[in-house]
Structure 1
Amino acid sequence: MNLEKVVNRRFPDTEASYNFKDTILYALGVGFGAEPLDPKHLRFLFEEGLIAAPTYANVLGHPGFWARDPDYAIDWRKLLHAEQRLTLHRPLPAEGKVIGRHDVMGVRDKGKESGAFLHQRKEVIDAATGNPIASVVTTLMLRGDGGCGDWGDAPDELQKLPEGAPELSLEVQTLEIAPIIYRLSGDLNPLHIDPAVAKVGGFERPILHGLATKGFAGYALLKAYCDFDATRLKSMALRFSRPVLPGDCIRFDFWQPEPGLIRFRAVVPARDLVVLDRGTARVA
């Protein structure tokens, strides 16, 4: 990796216009269609009085796969999406236009054999009012770029989960077509639809997008702790551990060590795999 070029990259603002159909499509891709007769679910699926799922802010205004540009000399084939943090400053409108403002927050070198973490920041701003909507920090694991050196800032390390049994668990069933629906919200990587590409990547079949799994986690948090009131979810952060396969049943395990603080993980019981780990959420 050319560290100097990476940390000095200047991103153009990205604009994203979305309408009620886009908002509903995203919600369908992350679990809100599970109970279509429930009025609380319908608030995220019906254009009359529509509410946007808070985790949609992760997706809007994405800067694209810039790490693939040879100028940065990143071994992008060994790149993994490691962690994702979302802080919500106000509710995301159900439709409108947002501006994404981006920068490289910092790099943490784990050594030649271990790779490096690249932390990228996005501010999501309402284009009509100029008000900040959300802050997003995406952490990429660059497995082939260790030994590059440290630079800049890094978010606080995600802490291990409490010991002992979870206080609450909630199961969410994904659909076989989940990644085919979710990719229409912006991530068209063929890994999530083309079996041939998935096999080259070492997977038995196309996998669910990591941010779709985070969307399912947002759905589970709203259901378990917020009575589907989107304004009550203030932040969430997590680590991606393993991929989810379409059709997997995901069990979300929750702990509440103090009022307003939720710790969580996601497990696929059928394969005994933790797919999301070290989750932290703040709710009102």
Structure 2
Amino acid sequence: MIEYEKLLNYRIPEVRQRLTPRDVVFYALSVGLGQDPMDKRQLDYVDQDKALRVLPSMPVVLAHPGFWVSNPETGVDAVKVVHGEQSIALHAPLPIEGEIIGRTRVTGLVDKGEGKGALLYSEKELRDTHGTLLAVTGSTTFLRGDGGFGGPSGPVKPVNPIPESAPDITVDLPTRPEQALYYRLNGDDNPLHSNPDVAARAGFPRPILHGLCTLGVVTHALLRELGHYEAGSMKSMSLRFSSPVFPGETIRTEIWRSGAFRARVVERDVVVVNNGAAVFG
């Protein structure tokens, strides 16, 4: 059972990560870059023999605190946890090597009521050893089994609007059947993405792709079309996860020139990412 004040003030240990070019390459490969060996622009993110670039969604895995909500002290029913929303704000160029310091904290907790779950808001600041702020990531976690603990019913973050017009660009990018097994080596080891029994207990027919892996695939599409593969072109993005992706499915990202976007699984025609907004410049 969640105790509001205890979870709101739960101390998440600081994480220090020694970043290497190998980590940069592995992250890009884990979200699907490099599948076209003739696309030299993708090779800039996966070939250590080139002037390596960092995919702008990588802050979500840097100095990652792990699946900390699974600690029994949080009071969270970890089996029923689902990633709801994610944002990234980039403040300085991301390095390809060096020590990265991540400080994560709970910033809000919303009780949606008995049987309706709860929302947990958290934020991670990434800095280098000189104290330079590199990026801030924000996350909304839907605690499906934990409503009714007597917490506040708001405020709830507003969503980004999606235009009523048809998208200006569509990009289809495939995922691989084993992709979640690779992606979890970035530090997100929730067994929901690897263990069929855990997935079944959570109500899924098989392990699902990490929401943050889906975010990486969508970031690839945005970077290709709006940023022309320039790593420093993306300034921020935010999105809402609306349905899971099963590894092996194709993700179609629908993009508007304004920076609005959403994504759907081609095979099931199900929207998996909605209310997306990206800023390039």
TM-score when normalising by structure 1: 0.91
Q: 1:133 to 1:143 in 2, by over 3 A?
A: same
- Could you tell me how far apart the structure 2 residues matched to 1:78 and 1:14 are? 25
The aligned residue for residue 142 of structure 2 is 141
Percent identity, please: 42
The aligned residue for residue 15 of structure 1 is 16
Q: 1:182 to 1:69 in 2, by over 3 A?
A: closer
- Could you tell me how far apart the structure 2 residues matched to 1:68 and 1:7 are? 15
What amino acid is the match of 1:57? P
Residue deviations 1:93-150, cap 9 Å, x none? 11221101121111122222322211011001112x2211100111111122223322
**Contact 1:106/1:150 (8 A) holds in 2:** no
- Could you tell me how far apart the structure 1 residues matched to 2:206 and 2:154 are? 38
**Contact 1:27/1:45 (8 A) holds in 2:** yes
Q: Which moved more, 1:30-39 or 1:225-234?
A: 30-39
What amino acid is the match of 1:24? V
Unaligned runs of 5+ in 1: none
The aligned residue for residue 193 of structure 1 is 194
Residue deviations 1:244-270, cap 9 Å, x none? 11211111001234xxxx111110121
Match of 1:276 among 265, 270, 273: 273
Match of 2:109 among 107, 110, 120: 107
What amino acid is the match of 2:96? A
**Contact 1:79/1:142 (8 A) holds in 2:** yes
Match runs of 1:242-253 below 5 Å: 242-253=243-254
The aligned residue for residue 66 of structure 2 is 64
Q: 1:187 to 1:11 in 2, by over 3 A?
A: closer
- Could you tell me how far apart the structure 2 residues matched to 1:193 and 1:68 are? 16
**Contact 1:105/1:152 (8 A) holds in 2:** no
**Contact 2:10/2:74 (8 A) holds in 1:** no
Q: CA deviation at 1:79?
A: 1.8
**Contact 2:67/2:189 (8 A) holds in 1:** no
What amino acid is the match of 1:95? E
- Could you tell me how far apart the structure 2 residues matched to 1:68 and 1:181 are? 21
**Contact 1:166/1:255 (8 A) holds in 2:** yes
Q: CA deviation at 1:197?
A: 3.6
- Could you tell me how far apart the structure 2 residues matched to 1:173 and 1:269 are? 9
Q: CA deviation at 1:153?
A: 7.1
TM-score when normalising by structure 2: 0.92
Q: CA deviation at 1:188?
A: 2.4
Question: How many residues were matched structurally?
Answer: 278
- Could you tell me how far apart the structure 2 residues matched to 1:74 and 1:198 are? 17
Q: CA deviation at 1:151?
A: 8.7
Helix, strand or coil at the partner of 1:165: coil
- Could you tell me how far apart the structure 2 residues matched to 1:202 and 1:113 are? 15
Helix, strand or coil at the partner of 1:32: coil
| RMSD of Structure 2 on Structure 1 (CA) | 1.8
Q: 1:71 to 1:185 in 2, by over 3 A?
A: closer
The aligned residue for residue 29 of structure 2 is 28
Q: 1:204 to 1:36 in 2, by over 3 A?
A: same
Q: 1:200 to 1:185 in 2, by over 3 A?
A: same
- Could you tell me how far apart the structure 2 residues matched to 1:153 and 1:62 are? 26
Helix, strand or coil at the partner of 2:138: strand
Q: CA deviation at 1:217?
A: 0.9
Helix, strand or coil at the partner of 1:175: coil
What amino acid is the match of 1:55? S
Whether 1:125 aligns to 2:122 is no
